[in-house]
Each structure stands twice: as C-alpha cells, then as structure tokens.
Structure 1
Amino acid sequence: MAIHIPEAPGRPFRIPPGEMSEPQSNLVQRILAGPRKDLPINMEIWLHSPAFAEVANSFAEYVGHRAPMSKRIKEITILVVAAFWGSRFEWFWHERLARQLGIDEGQIAQLKERQAAGFDDPVEQTAYEVAFALLERRDMDDELHARAVRILGHAAVADLIGLIGLYTMVAFTLDFYRVPVPDIAA
C-alpha cells in the first residue's frame, strides 16, 4: 500500500520531475533501481543539494541496507532515535516496520516513552543499550563499552553509530520541514 505523504503548509520541498536537474534526476533513478526501490521522503528533501544527496544516499544505502546488522536491530535503533528527538513522522514510519518484525507492543511502548526496554537476544539488547546510552546519557560506561565490543565487535559498533547519526539527520530534516504524519485511514 502506497502512503501519500503531504507537504506541510508553507514548507514545500518536492521538486517536480520536470524541474529536476540532470544530477537530481540521475540520483532519483539510481535510488529507485537500488536496494530501497523507492525514494524516501528525506531524500526528496535532500535533492535540493545534489552533492549532499549523493553522499547521504551512499551512507544511507550502507548503514540502512548493506551493513551486517539485523532488520530488528535497525528498527529498534531507529525508534530510539525517533523517540529521543521526538520525530513524529520518523516514529510513525518505523513503528509500523518494527511491528512487522515482531517487536512487541510492550517493547515499542517502552521505546516511545524513552524507558529501559528489554530484548531477549543479547545482540539486540546490547545494540539497544548502546543507542540509548549514547543518546539519553551521552555517555558509555566501561561495562557497556566492553560488552558492546565483545558482543557486537568494533565494526558493528561503527555501523550502529552510523545508523544513529543517519536517523538523527533524517529526524532533523523531517522536523525542519514539519513533514506531517499521514492519515492512513483516509
């Protein structure tokens, strides 16, 4: 089901296809042919700066689709970011994906309220705790640092930090343009 995402009054961002520059149009075609198969709303906005959009797209394709972490870890992390920044659209979009991956209602509620959440899988729990600590406390105590390196490894920690950074950037972008939460009932 395609969801129509409107622009907020007074905050337009869409570039009509006929008004796109060649670099913008080429990037859109590559994104549509890539792993996402669609043009994310944040990328529609970033197209206003084609050079930035190119770099952001490469980064997003890596941390969002090629980094070797589970989809559940990605969605848990994105919900931690969305809750921390209060990004309504980001929360709306990724809460649905988290449910599809079997993240239960209690865990989703804890994430939304920025309360400690528990996950049975030690890799998921560690990734969650790293994201929560970096955002909520802006500190990584020695025990969690050692556990993250032991359970996740340095490469996965780098990927996780990259995912946190990407979705922080997405949250800021969506909030700057006040991208409204779509009315999916309509």
Structure 2
Amino acid sequence: MRLPDLTPAELGQAQLELRERIVGGPRGSGPQHFPLVREDGSLTGPFGVMLHEPALGAPLQELGSAIRYASGLDARTREIAILAVAAATGSAFEAYAHERVGRAVGLTEDEIAALADGSFTSADPRERAAYDFCRHLFDDGGHLDDDSYAAYADALGTTTMTELIVLVGYYRTLAQLLDVFDVGAPEEEQPAQ
C-alpha cells in the first residue's frame, strides 16, 4: 500500500471537512452501488487518496460531484463515457465502481463488456456519438479537424461536448491517481485472471 487508508480518527480538520463533503454529499446520500466507506471509516478508491491532500482533493471532488450530479448528461451517456475512460486507462477501480452504477442506470452486461473491450456501439445515435467522441479524445489526443468538430457539434451540441471533455479529463486524473498510488478494485470484487 503506497498511501495508508485514513480513518476519521487520523484526520486533521481540513481532511475531516473534506470527508464530510464527500460522505454527506450526493455520493453518500444517494444509492450506494459500491462501498464509499469501509468498516473502519476510511474512504474507498480516489476519495481515500483525496483525503491525503485536501487542498486539491476538495476542488477535485467538487468537480466530480458536478459532473455526476449537476451536468446535463443523462445517466446512461455519463456512465458510457466513464466506462470508456476506465477501459482506455486500465483503471480497475473505476471499472469496478462504474460497472455497478452502469447496471443501475440500464446498461446491459453485453454493453458493459463492449465498453471494456472497446467495441461498444449503440442504436441510440447520441450515445454512439458520445462514446466515439470520448474515444477520439484518447485515440487522437482530442484534436478535431473542422469536419469532425461540425459532426460532433451537430450530434451532441457544444454543451455536451464540453461536459464530456471535462468528464474525460476528470476521470483520466482519477485513473492516474489510482494507478500511481496503486489503488485497485477490492480483491474480492476483481474478476479472475
């Protein structure tokens, strides 16, 4: 373990305030598709990492909360995009967490498997465009020629494009934090190799 799990008794004031914003906000008050808090009171996944640096963790968690709970992305499109990032970055924790959220918002097992292996498609042209746009951000570094920009703007609108760009950047940041600090999915939840 590169960073220790911090229990509430080990937290300073800024860390306690951040923990309360995470657990007392929409993440902690809504349906729990994966554990946010362990039995000892420490936080799971990226939230445990955020507690180590509350000056950065607080705005980071606020951005994540805005993406998940305040953006105009519908739940399926949001989870498609998050799982696309999890697959592109190899983030075991984000795949573990958001496969569960994805099922809750209506993604099928076949869709989840296709998101994991990069073969996702959808009969819904907006979902397909959102997935393709997210893949483009990874595969092509985000650069769009004028024709591609016009096609995505027509299919998604610039507001959705902006939301997806921010989502991809946020979840890419989380994936990197989780990778560097070696935070994976809980062992009992990892698929057999």
**TM-score, structure 1 length as denominator?**
0.84
Partner letter of residue 15 of structure 2?
A: Q
Q: How many residues align?
A: 175
Decide whether the 8 Å contact of 1:82 with 1:88 is kept in 2: yes
Are 1:136 and 2:139 matched, yes or no? yes
Where in structure 1 do 4 or more consecutive aligned residues deviate above 4 Å?
Answer: none
Decide whether the 8 Å contact of 2:45 with 2:93 is kept in 1: no
The CA distance in 2 between the partners of 1:52 and 1:120, in whole Å, is 39
The 10-residue stretch of structure 1 (161-170 or 171-180) with the greater mean CA deviation from structure 2: 171-180
2:160 match: 156
Q: 1:100 to 1:143 in 2, by over 3 A?
A: farther
Decide whether the 8 Å contact of 2:91 with 2:184 is kept in 1: no
The CA distance in 1 between the partners of 2:176 and 2:82, in whole Å, is 13
Partner letter of residue 49 of structure 2?
A: I
Q: 1:13 to 1:64 in 2, by over 3 A?
A: farther
Shift of 1:40: 5.3
Gaps of 5+ in 2: 29-35, 37-42
Partner letter of residue 137 of structure 1?
A: D
Shift of 1:79: 1.0
Partner letter of residue 18 of structure 2?
A: L
Partner letter of residue 129 of structure 1?
A: D
Decide whether the 8 Å contact of 1:13 with 1:177 is kept in 2: no
Q: Deviations over 1:81-109 (max 9, x none)?
A: 11111112211221222223222333322
1:1-186 alignment runs, 5 A limit: 10-37=1-28, 38=36, 41-115=45-119, 117-138=120-141, 139-182=143-186, 183-184=188-189
Identity %: 33
Partner letter of residue 23 of structure 1?
A: A
Partner letter of residue 49 of structure 1?
A: E
Matched residue of 1:23: which SS? helix
What RMSD, in angstroms, separates the aligned Cα atoms of the two structures? 1.9
The CA distance in 2 between the partners of 1:143 and 1:107, in whole Å, is 28
Matched residue of 2:26: which SS? coil
Matched residue of 1:68: which SS? coil
The CA distance in 2 between the partners of 1:122 and 1:104, in whole Å, is 17
Shift of 1:15: 1.7
Decide whether the 8 Å contact of 1:81 with 1:167 is kept in 2: yes
Gaps of 5+ in 1: 1-9
2:32 match: none
Matched residue of 1:36: which SS? helix
Shift of 1:142: 3.7
Decide whether the 8 Å contact of 2:45 with 2:184 is kept in 1: no
The 10-residue stretch of structure 1 (78-87 or 26-35) with the greater mean CA deviation from structure 2: 26-35
The 10-residue stretch of structure 1 (135-144 or 157-166) with the greater mean CA deviation from structure 2: 135-144
Partner letter of residue 46 of structure 1?
A: M
